Amino acid sequence: MTEMESFTFVQHTITSSYIREYTYATVQDQGDTLQLHVKQYIPRVIKQDAANAITIIAFGALGMPKELYEPLWEELYRQSTFSSKFSIDSIWIADLVNTGISATLNEEKLGDGPSWIEDSRDMFLLINLFRNQMRRPLIGLAHSAGGVILSHLDFFHPRLFLR
């Protein structure tokens, strides 16, 4: 899906966390850097009263490209337009280093050592890099293995998703 009714999006590519948890996470050398492909969704129309605006940090399931969730973002936006309780400031989601566009970027370097804990570190890095563009509160939204990644992230940084 390239055109969305309710959102524009910005694509980012960032370097993943370093050093990877397992030595065999990269083919050649532990010093190899892996890339994450990230999408930031920004509503085309922003509510005037943005006091209840949230930033959603999404964690997808293994093997599912981040674009698969775009119909969900549209529905969440639609629901927010009827609600006085919340509005969406932005939605952020990244392909894991071995999934989707990230896997294509990393195909020459990927080894056989994926780690869900490492994926949590990558998302923590993403949040830190773009924190100035993320209005609090941050809301974690996860599907399947993304729930494990979100749980790990919340475990090692319990205040991250608090107001």
Mean pLDDT of residues grouped by 10 in the chain (163 residues)?
85 94 84 94 85 94 94 96 91 96 96 89 97 96 96 95 81
Residue 52: Cβ-neighbour burial (10 angstroms; 0-12, 13-18, 19+): middle
The pTM of this model reads 0.94
Q: What is the pLDDT of residue 113?
A: 79
Encoding tokens for residue 140? 């974690």
How many CA atoms does the CB half-sphere of 68 hold within 13 Å? 15
- Nearest C-alpha neighbor of 111 from the set 17, 23, 19: 23
Return the pLDDT at 49: 67
Cα separation, 106 vs 100, whole angstroms = 10
pLDDT, position 2: 56
